[in-house]
Amino acid sequence: MPFRDECGVFGICHQAEASRQTYLGLYALQHRGQEAAGICSGDEQGLHLHKSQGYVADVFTEAVLDALPGDAAIGHTRYSTTGGNVASAAHPFLIHGRFGQVALCHNGNLTNTEALRTRLIADGHTFTSPSDSEVLLALINRAQADNLEDALVAALRETQGAYSLLILTEDALIAARDPHGFRPLGMGHLGETVAFSSETCAFDLVGAQYERDVQPGEMVVVSRRTGEIRSWFPLPKVQPRPCVFEHIYFARPDSLVYGRSVMVARREMGRRLALRHPVEADLVVPVPDSGVSAALGYSEQSGISFDFGIIRNHYVGRTFIEPKQTIRSFGVKVKLNPVRHLLAGKRVVLVDDSIVRGTTSKKIVQMVREAGAREVHMRIACPPTTHSCFYGIDTPKRQHLIASYMSLAEITAFVEADTLGYLDLEDLEGCMGDQDGQNFCYACFTGDYPVVPG
Ligand code: AMP
């Protein structure tokens, strides 16, 4: 089964407490992955690694961070994805090979790893995990090159798909982004300190200033000794296609992603949704937290008042022990609870960012009705999700995506909404300032894959 890595990465160089700063960065990126976390730091003695399953706050203690000394570090938070709960899949990966110690972590999904893995295994390589990162490290180690940078370029030339990656060596911190720039990667500064992060919310926490994105196809090399920063574009140039779903769902609204405010984009999606699918109603209610920004936009545009008619329990962990005696499915109720006083007797516009399988949406509509809502009009701040993602967003196989096998009328009936309206693709492009619809990846809505899945 292909292994999908939906994650967050953070790295920092020339910072006295690099591992502690990376810990903070990962804390801010926790939403990008709750399955496992890891940090690799570097000092004069070499590289030091700690990684484990669990939340950032659980994986790292004072003692663990004390054992990660040095002025450079990279870190990773990993999502619970299609490949399952595999302890060995935690990043970063560290090898001691031809180029000394090399640690690597990445966000994104390579589309040709299966073929590469098969070839490497045939060449006698053994893997400890199903992760793409291990394939990359193996390619680096076997590349026909005299130095690590050239070996990395040779390895990346063999790969296809999505990667925003951070590499720590004894000499350098390297950041690289695939030529399409599918996944985000920002670069920031704090005095002499250079930092990289999937999202700018992590820069805010460590006090770094966002400077720019690592460009699609760019490799930025920060010398650990001299502080010199070099940038080059060693891979063939293609039309950049950063993932639009970061702005729809995945990123935090307080982040800049691709240099754009996620909050502003989501609000605009809600506004355009209100223009495209207006309805007579009393209350705009977001599905928290994913629908909040778009619901605000819908409310602003429509003039229908906004309220938190559903409250989310923010302390829900990854597991939930149900009572043994009562036969009752808790499902979404553990996470979400309606505010009956707000919903009773109301015509509700229920706003969420997306529908994937439709099963959660159905339960939420039911919940809102049971709380006394007279009508439930569902509004979705993106187009119908009809295709799987191969570049790092964890979507189910196509046959499980409700919009791939049901019409709008059928989905409306399935989720038991009075009406259902999705954002148009054209409107989404407009929200992203994408004049000709060529500047982002919309494959999950169109099936137009910039890189053919392997
Ligand atoms: P469902 O009705 O079962 O399709 O679930 C819809 C919910 O899933 C929405 O609230 C979305 O915010 C959320 N969602 C969308 N994409 C993802 C994803 N890649 N991982 C987890 N949840 C997602």
The alpha carbon dihedral of 266, 271, 272, 274 has a sign of: positive
Residue 224 has pLDDT above 70, yes or no: yes
Query: From the CB of 357, is ligand 1 less than 6 Å away?
Result: yes
- Tell which atom from ligand 1 comes closest to the C-alpha of 287: 10
Q: Following DSSP, what letter does each residue of 255-322 receive, concatenated?
A: SEETTEEHHHHHHHHHHHHHHHS----SEEEE-TTTTHHHHHHHHHHH-PPB---EEE-TT--S--PP
Query: From the CB of 400, is ligand 1 less than 6 Å away?
Result: no
Mean pLDDT within 132-142: 93
Instruction: Give the range among 89-103, 155-169, 313-327, 333-347 with minimum mean pLDDT.
Output: 313-327
CA 157, CA 182: separation in Å to the nearest integer? 16
pLDDT one-digit tens code per residue, 45-80: 999 999 999 999 999 999 999 999 999 999 999 986
Q: Contact 34/161 with Cβ under 8 angstroms?
A: no
pLDDT reported for residue 40: 98
Q: How far is the CA of 381 from the centre of ligand 1 (A)?
A: 12
Residue 361 has pLDDT above 50, yes or no: yes
Pocket test for ligand 1, best of 32, 183, 249, 390 (most atoms within 8 A of CB): 249
Q: How far is the CA of 393 from the centre of ligand 1 (A)?
A: 11
Looking at the chain, which residues constitute the CATH 3.40.50.2020 domain(s)?
264-446
Residue 2's pLDDT band, with cuts at 50, 70 and 90, is very low
pLDDT reported for residue 325: 72
Query: From the CB of 353, is ligand 1 less than 6 Å away?
Result: yes
Provide the residue type at 232 as one letter: W
Residue 265's pLDDT band, with cuts at 50, 70 and 90, is very high
Q: Is 40 a catalytic residue?
A: no
Q: pTM for this structure? A: 0.95
Q: Contact 215/181 with Cβ under 8 angstroms?
A: yes
Query: From the CB of 384, is ligand 1 less than 6 Å away?
Result: no
Q: How far is the CA of 424 from the centre of ligand 1 (A)?
A: 18
Q: How far is the CA of 222 from the centre of ligand 1 (A)?
A: 37
Mean pLDDT within 167-188: 98
CA 124, CA 64: separation in Å to the nearest integer? 35
Biggest CA–CA distance in the chain, Å, is 72
Query: From the CB of 189, is ligand 1 less than 6 Å away?
Result: no
Mean pLDDT within 345-357: 98
Rg of the chain over Cα atoms, rounded to whole angstroms, equals: 23
Homologous superfamily (CATH) of 5-240 is Aminohydrolase, N-terminal nucleophile (Ntn) domain (3.60.20.10)
Q: How far is CA 135 from the centre of its chain?
A: 21
Architecture of the CATH domain 264-446: 3-Layer(aba) Sandwich (3.40)
Query: From the CB of 31, is ligand 1 less than 6 Å away?
Result: no
Q: How far is the CA of 355 from the centre of ligand 1 (A)?
A: 6
